[in-house]
Amino acid sequence: MDATAQVAIVGAGPIGLELAIALKQAGIPYQHFDKGQIGQTISWFPEMMRFFSSPERIAIAGIPIPRTDQSKCTKEEYLAYLRAVVQQFDLPVRTYENVERIKRVDSGGFTLHSRDAQGQYHTCRAEKLVLAIGDMHRPHLIGVPGENLPHVSHYFHEPHRFFRKKLLVVGGKNSAVEAALRCWHCGAEVTLCYRASELDPRHIKYWVLPEIQGCVRRGEIRALPTTTPLAIEPGKATLRSVRGGEPFEIEADFILLLTGYEADMALFAETGVELTGIEQNPAFNPQTMETNVPGLYVAGTTTAGSQQSYQVFIETSHIHIDRILAAIQGNPPPPEEPTNRRPEN
Ligand SMILES: Cc1cc2nc3c(=O)[nH]c(=O)nc-3n(C[C@H](O)[C@H](O)[C@H](O)COP(=O)(O)OP(=O)(O)OC[C@H]3O[C@@H](n4cnc5c(N)ncnc54)[C@H](O)[C@@H]3O)c2cc1C
């Protein structure tokens, strides 16, 4: 056994880091793993993307996010903030170490089997385990021929590469709409294709919706509502109305399939956590965050599995830390948060 600890945390996103600070402050020995860098999920968000949450709602461990203009953070600013917090608390995170398997120990606790960036295998024994692994592990594939061609991507990184190119963006939620707008501003010829008849304001940032509506109205961005791709080939895509009718082709130098992401719940399944429904929601006690497996807790967005409609965010997950800390210390659960504390949008 390479390491032993009272608690093992898997995942060093904002919520895993917030929990690590709480454990450190409480003097509870822990081991902390992330398969990538800290804030790994946020690091692949589009360049200069702005969070919809105000800074104070995504700040962790009571450390303010300083803003000179009170604006919302960009991804880069938030990652810089997370790095500063890790430095401030001198958090030992085993980055680039993937927890590949977890075994329950008959006498209680867990053995984690991990692999680091050099390919070395490690084991860690922990009495308690917290999975804070997020919910965006792989893209939601749409399952059409050509989806894996080189000019097709499920991730939008930045708009420059689409300058003066024909770009098809597939998806009707915020990621797709924001990508369409940014690429059009950057000189791309953009078509936005989505299954619904209207863009749904509940899924689009309030400052983004009027802009896309204006661009579509003026013909600057071509919108194809109630439309879905059937096949992709180099230089073109075949589309069809979801209401039926003849398929038709459009030219496309590049295609962004921004149709959401899925959680990989394999670590939950192999340890015996009950997963229910299409979202694969883990079973847990909402007062303690302990799953049906004794000693195994869940925190952050992974509590909601593969969310179909996003309800769990950073800003709604801070309370998970207090609940887990109280449970681990054998204290009563913290008072409930005010009900229906909806995230800003
Ligand atoms: C474009 C976009 C914008 C968003 N904007 C907001 C916003 O404004 N406000 C808000 O509150 N939320 C927002 N969210 C949602 C939420 O903030 C993020 O998903 C956030 O990263 C969730 O934090 P987390 O700590 O729960 O999980 P994550 O940040 O996803 O962290 C999970 C970590 O676990 C690691 N991990 C996973 N599996 C393993 C393994 N087997 N071994 C080791 N490590 C592992 C990952 O590498 C990752 O670092 C946004 C999401 C997206 C996609």
Taking only the tens place, the pLDDT of each residue in 62-108 is 999 999 998 999 999 999 999 999 999 999 999 999 999 999 999 99
- Where helices occur in the chain by DSSP H, the ranges are 14-25, 40-43, 55-58, 75-89, 174-185, 209-217, 266-271, 318-328
- Sign of the dihedral through C-alpha 131, 6, 40, 318: positive
Which CATH class name applies to 140-257? alpha beta
Using the atom order of ligand 1, give the atom closest to the CA of residue 299: 26
Mean pLDDT value across residues 217-230: 98
Count of CB atoms situated within 10 Å of the CB of 291: 23
Mean pLDDT value across residues 195-203: 94
At 115-173, the pLDDT tens digits run 999 999 999 999 999 999 999 999 999 999 999 999 999 999 999 999 999 999 999 99
Per-residue pLDDT, 345: 45
Q: 226: CA distance to ligand 1 center in Å?
A: 30
pLDDT above 90 for 343: no
DSSP letter at 233 equals: E
DSSP letter at 50 equals: B
Helix and strand numbers (H, E) in the chain are 8, 18
Q: Which of 15, 17, 34, 121 to mutate to test the pocket of ligand 1 (most atoms within 8 A of CB)?
A: 34
Q: 246: CA distance to ligand 1 center in Å?
A: 40
Q: Which of 156, 264, 313, 342 to mutate to test the pocket of ligand 1 (most atoms within 8 A of CB)?
A: 313
At 297-340, the pLDDT tens digits run 999 999 999 887 778 999 999 999 999 999 999 999 998 765 44
Mean pLDDT score of the chain, rounded to an integer? 95
Per-residue pLDDT, 2: 86
Token couple for 325: 């800390």
Using the atom order of ligand 1, give the atom closest to the CA of residue 45: 1
Burial-class residue 139 by CB neighbours within 10 Å (0-12, 13-18, 19+): middle
- Which of the four pLDDT bands, split at 50, 70 and 90, describes residue 51? very high
Q: How far is CA 2 from the centre of its chain?
A: 30
Token couple for 233: 């080939």
15 lines ligand 1 (CB under 6 A): yes
Instruction: Tell me the C-alpha distance between 157 and 208, whole Å.
Output: 18
The CATH code for residues 3-137+263-328 is 3.50.50.60
3-137+263-328 and 140-257: same fold? yes
Closest CA to 134 of 264, 22, 38, 43: 264
Extents of the domains making up the chain = 3-137+263-328, 140-257
